[in-house]
Structure 1
Amino acid sequence: MMAKVEKQVKFFYYIKAYLRRILPTTSYSIKIKQLERSLTARQKELVTSRVDYYCRSSVKSSTSSPCCTLKDLRSPVTPKTYYHDTYEYARFFPEELPINFVFGDVTTVPDLPSIVKSRPVAADNNNSILLNLDKARHFVWVHNDQPFHTKKDVLIGRGAVFQEHRYHFFSQYFGHPMCDLGQVNAQGGNPLWIKKKISIADHLNYKFILCLQGNDVATNLKWVMSSNSIAVMPKPTLETWFMEGSLVGGVHYIEIKDDYSDLETQLQHYLAHPDKCRFILENAHSYCEQFYNRKVEDLCSLKVLEKYLLPAE
């Protein structure tokens, strides 16, 4: 059975995004109550925990010299998907409410409490309010994947090599017998590393998949953790809606050193211990499941904005 890759079709994504600008909406409080009634007590507890993780700031946006109001989200500029994904939930709130946002690949903490897609895991990141942005690209899932034991005993890695840390990895391991690496960008990197892009389905023929951070987080980490292949990466330093900062090496993924020096040792260790591989796969799948319920995701997003836009006095 071929694995099923669950991802949004961009054409329909944009149709729905622009329809939201003309369709009537209810208030945020009514929408939140509707969603809460449809969830179990346990699901609502998890929503509360996640909202507190995403929004750690207690500073009201209107007291922080906001750059915009919610009304400004109705006129998206590049990157448009960030406006669409924020407006999907902001439309339930009064459009005159102030908001700060920093859209794009964010690797630092804003000076003011702001909506962002990504933030540093370490340091004081209270001003970084996470929302699920650019999710059509980032949130892709794999279902009905082939069993782990049927896959090749190799680490597969395809990606753009622009950043110094990716260049360093490829310099060490391109051509290594335990790795199948390929650079997909024609400019930059090293022309000797260039290979064609391959599909997600082709990645899934391998037991181990490289998940290196790029401009921010590793984009492929979500679908890798939902598959029957295992993510291999250093400990994340950046996080998004996927809460990468809460992942644990040896529990959710195979952790390698920041200088990548123990990659071969780690791969050999896990190949020799299939029970540890099964343990990681079970935990990775369980972790991903918390993002599968659409009503839970909607409630999390609305309550993050409620906490940010209308914090309790």
Structure 2
Amino acid sequence: MNLKFLFASGKNAKLPYYIRNYAKVILPKYVFQSRLSKKLESIKSRPDANYITSRVEYYNKLHTAQELPESSQRFGELKKSKKVKSVYFLDAYRVISWFKGSFKWNYVPGDVTYIPEIPSIVKSRPISGDNSNSVLLKLDEVRHFIFIRDRLKFNEKLDRIIFRGKVDNKPHRIAFMEKYFHHPMCDLGNITKKKTLPPEWTVEKCTLYHHLQYKFVLALEGNDVASNLKWIMSSNSIAVMPTPKFETWFMEGKLIANHHYIQIKDDYSDLEERLNYYIENQEEANQIIRNANKYVSQFFDKEREHLIGLAVMNKYLEKTDQK
């Protein structure tokens, strides 16, 4: 299974990602910067201009100008480091390389579950409250934005729910395992080897394609969002989860319960009831799958995704009084 997972896991291959993006780092920045104005101006004449604008406004909710501290990092100072790992360096560079290196920003890489005190570029943010200082960019894309082709129809799948993930140090995941590990409708497993957890919970990793044998896939938030949610929603299985508390570029805050995913209570007490309902009402289940597939399709246009990222950053500079 380890070899199968290594070569056919269903996840994005990292080597092509690194080659493609490090190649852009080598290019002189004027190659990008000389085209920026024209690229941003092109949004106005696009047939999807209103859609692009709505996405930009969702990611960047800054309304009034706020100056950044003079000590803020400059674009040109971005470097890979222990804090700024390769994927966070490359995904940010793909956007900021289109702008002058003298512009300032507050860049907070990693799993961000709080709202910064000043306007900041983040991968994730809380959905509730005033999160306007948390400006979303598409970061850690190679890990999070996975979409999958599913050849099995919903009615051909097992009447069970599957979960494979890191359970350690995540109380909400531990609570789910304690409640349902031995339940006949559940196939659950922890993929880390933590001695503090029951040893019977520990299993080998399995491929994403193995998950597709099941009608339902559990999407429990980890440090921030549930990283498996994107590929589940691109499949013919259904994501099962409580109402999400955090969001990324995927706009988890826009998802509608029992329209894009099956909602369960925060204490998971209605899991069996919810699964049985959709096993017995398969047309409703198929409608959720169609809705989810349609939702993920908006992220397939890579050129448009990049254009939205540039517009988000351009607004960030405007609202931090730099343009």
Shared fold (TM-score, shorter chain, > 0.5): yes
Kept after mapping to 1: 8 A contact 2:107/2:121: yes
Match of 2:14 among 2, 5, 10: 10
TM-superposed CA distance for 1:33, in Å, is: 3.8
TM-superposed CA distance for 1:88, in Å, is: 0.2
Q: Secondary structure at the match of 2:313?
A: helix
**Is 1:92 the counterpart of 2:98 in the alignment?**
yes
Match of 1:197 among 176, 184, 205: 205
**Is 1:69 the counterpart of 2:77 in the alignment?**
no
**Is 1:273 the counterpart of 2:281 in the alignment?**
yes
Structure-to-structure mapping, 1:204-215, within 5 angstroms: 204-215=212-223
Q: Secondary structure at the match of 1:129?
A: strand
Correspondence for 1:165: 172
For the residues of structure 1 that align with 2:88 and 2:306, how far apart are their CA atoms? 16
Give the alignment's Cα RMSD to 1 decimal.
Answer: 1.9
Aligned length: 306
For the residues of structure 2 that align with 1:94 and 1:115, how far apart are their CA atoms? 17
The aligned amino acid for 2:74 is T
For the residues of structure 1 that align with 2:261 and 2:285, how far apart are their CA atoms? 9
For the residues of structure 1 that align with 2:10 and 2:218, how far apart are their CA atoms? 20
The aligned amino acid for 2:184 is P
For the residues of structure 2 that align with 1:230 and 1:253, how far apart are their CA atoms? 6
Correspondence for 1:46: 51
Structure-to-structure mapping, 1:223-302, within 5 angstroms: 223-302=231-310
Structure-to-structure mapping, 1:63-212, within 5 angstroms: 63-65=68-70, 67-73=72-78, 75-78=79-82, 79-162=85-168, 163-187=170-194, 188-212=196-220
TM-superposed CA distance for 1:62, in Å, is: 4.3
For the residues of structure 2 that align with 1:305 and 1:266, how far apart are their CA atoms? 41
Correspondence for 2:5: none
Kept after mapping to 2: 8 A contact 1:233/1:254: yes
For the residues of structure 2 that align with 1:172 and 1:84, how far apart are their CA atoms? 40
For the residues of structure 1 that align with 2:251 and 2:262, how far apart are their CA atoms? 17
Kept after mapping to 1: 8 A contact 2:244/2:252: yes
For the residues of structure 2 that align with 1:6 and 1:192, how far apart are their CA atoms? 26
Question: Structure 1's 6 and 291: CA in aligned 2 closer, same or farther, altered over 3 A?
Answer: farther
For the residues of structure 1 that align with 2:87 and 2:103, how far apart are their CA atoms? 21
Question: Structure 1's 201 and 61: CA in aligned 2 closer, same or farther, altered over 3 A?
Answer: farther
Mark the runs of 5 or more structure 2 residues left unpaired by the alignment.
1-7
TM-superposed CA distance for 1:7, in Å, is: 5.0
Question: Structure 1's 171 and 132: CA in aligned 2 closer, same or farther, altered over 3 A?
Answer: same
Kept after mapping to 1: 8 A contact 2:68/2:118: no
For the residues of structure 1 that align with 2:86 and 2:201, how far apart are their CA atoms? 33
Kept after mapping to 2: 8 A contact 1:10/1:136: yes
TM-superposed CA distance for 1:30, in Å, is: 2.4
For the residues of structure 1 that align with 2:207 and 2:53, how far apart are their CA atoms? 36
Mark the runs of 5 or more structure 1 residues left unpaired by the alignment.
none
The aligned amino acid for 1:262 is D
For the residues of structure 1 that align with 2:310 and 2:49, how far apart are their CA atoms? 13
Among all aligned residue pairs of Structure 1 and Structure 2, give the percentage whose two residues are the same amino acid: 43
TM-superposed CA distance for 1:195, in Å, is: 1.2
Cα deviation 1:36-86 (Å, max 9, x = unaligned): 38x841x2221111110000013556434452010012x211322112101
For the residues of structure 1 that align with 2:88 and 2:303, how far apart are their CA atoms? 20
Cα deviation 1:139-191 (Å, max 9, x = unaligned): 00012431111100000111111200000000000010111111111014321
Q: Secondary structure at the match of 2:148?
A: strand
